[in-house]
């Protein structure tokens, strides 16, 4: 049986740039016009990806909505052949992969990492608190971490659609992944939109190409050096106290930054 996972975020979909002064941990505040547009755009992109996967021989397609509260998509508008994944929030990130045998992951709506110049609504997991996350000195974003965790279960990233800044970051670490640019990032809340019909057509073709490729999983080599920088020293101090109950954590260059040597993926999950 050929199974695929579609991992869905919101900020990277077409037609969405957010609005100045909107404040949200995940960069798009729930209930705003930007959020409603993001849900509609994500639904379109998911549907063409689902169609492309089944046309490529998929027997099962599962959708993991992981934006904010993780219950954003209206599944009455999603291709009924696809399944909604309900995740146990007490489990670690992507730990559910152990219960499946996915051929690959299609990433829809992911965004560039925190601090990305011109990255539209760029952030890494928590836009309020986290300024960056690094592994072995290299700054990484949500696509990178999710891809590498999936690699622990032998599941490769095969496709990603997002703005051009995020797409460049994807290809830096994963040059075999098939990508589609949904919009051209021009700033924190700015983007030049591409034609919707062209974007959806390219996603459909890109997913078909990705399903036909042989792409290898990626994963971190442990032990590895992990660094996280918080906006607030109060948050950093609180997190230091929490993490130190299980790990040996130290401050980095200042009281905003925590450093630790991770021994396995479960230790990494503590920070996500």
Q: CA–CA separation, 249 vs 65, rounded Å?
A: 32
Query: Kind and range of the H or E element at 180?
Result: strand 178-181
DSSP bridge pairs for 134: 139, 227
pLDDT at 23: 59
Instruction: Determine the angle formed by the axes of helices 142-151 and 164-173, rounding to 10 degrees.
Output: 30
Q: Which of 35, 38, 45 is nearest to 15 (CA)?
A: 38
SS (H, E, C) 116-165: CCCCCCCCCCCCCCEEEEEECCEECCHHHHHHHHHHCCCCCEEEEEECHH
pLDDT at 26: 60
pLDDT at 90: 85
Q: CA–CA separation, 204 vs 13, rounded Å?
A: 14
Q: With beta carbons less than 8 A apart as the criterion, state whether 33 and 90 touch.
A: no
Per-residue pLDDT 10s for the chain (272 aa) are 999 999 999 999 999 998 776 655 567 877 778 889 999 999 999 999 999 999 999 999 999 999 877 888 999 999 999 999 998 888 899 999 999 999 999 999 999 999 999 999 999 999 889 999 999 999 999 999 999 999 999 999 999 999 999 999 999 989 999 999 999 999 999 999 999 999 999 999 999 999 999 999 999 999 999 999 999 999 999 999 999 999 999 999 999 999 999 999 999 999 99
Q: With beta carbons less than 8 A apart as the criterion, state whether 4 and 58 touch.
A: yes
Q: Which of 270, 56, 58 is nearest to 149 (CA)?
A: 270
pTM above 0.85, yes or no: yes
Q: For residue 87, count CB atoms less than 10 angstroms from its CB and return exposed for 0-12, middle for 13-18, buried for 19 or more.
A: middle
Pairing of strands 3-8, 102-108: parallel
DSSP bridge pairs for 106: 6, 159
SS3 177: coil
Q: Which two tokens stand for residue 34?
A: 């930007």
Q: Answer whether the bond into residue 87 is a cis peptide, omega within 30°.
A: no
List of E strands, 59-118: 60-65, 83-84, 102-108
pLDDT at 12: 96
Of the options 3.40.50.10780, 3.40.50.10610, 3.30.470.20, 2.40.10.220, the CATH number for the domain spanning 3-130+141-212: 3.40.50.10780
Q: Which two tokens stand for residue 212?
A: 């036909």
Q: CA–CA separation, 205 vs 52, rounded Å?
A: 7
């Amino acid at each position: 049986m050929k199974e695929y996972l579609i991992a869905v975020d919101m900020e990277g979909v077409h037609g969405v740039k957010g609005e100045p002064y909107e404040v949200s941990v995940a960069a798009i505040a729930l209930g705003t016009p930007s959020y409603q547009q993001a849900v509609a755009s994500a639904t379109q992109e998911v549907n063409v990806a689902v169609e492309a996967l089944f046309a490529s021989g998929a027997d099962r397609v599962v959708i993991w909505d992981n934006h904010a509260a993780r219950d954003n998509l209206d599944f009455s508008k999603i291709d009924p052949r696809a399944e909604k994944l309900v995740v146990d929030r007490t489990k670690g990130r992507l730990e559910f992969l152990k219960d499946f045998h996915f051929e690959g992951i299609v990433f829809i709506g992911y965004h560039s990492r925190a601090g990305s110049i011109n990255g539209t609504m760029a952030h890494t997991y928590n836009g309020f608190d986290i300024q960056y996350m690094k592994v072995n000195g290299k700054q990484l974003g949500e696509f990178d971490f999710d891809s590498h965790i999936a690699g622990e279960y032998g599941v490769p990233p095969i496709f990603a659609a997002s703005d051009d800044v995020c797409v460049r970051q994807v290809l830096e670490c994963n040059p075999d992944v098939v990508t589609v640019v949904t919009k051209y990032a021009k700033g924190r809340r700015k983007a030049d939109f591409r034609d919707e019909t062209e974007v959806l057509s390219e996603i459909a073709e890109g997913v078909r190409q990705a399903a036909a490729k042989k792409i290898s999983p990626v994963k971190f080599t442990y032990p590895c050096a992990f660094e996280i920088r918080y906006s607030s020293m109060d948050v950093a101090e609180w997190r230091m106290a929490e993490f130190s109950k299980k790990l040996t954590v130290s401050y980095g260059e200042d009281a905003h930054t925590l450093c630790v040597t991770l021994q396995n993926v479960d230790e990494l999950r503590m920070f996500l």
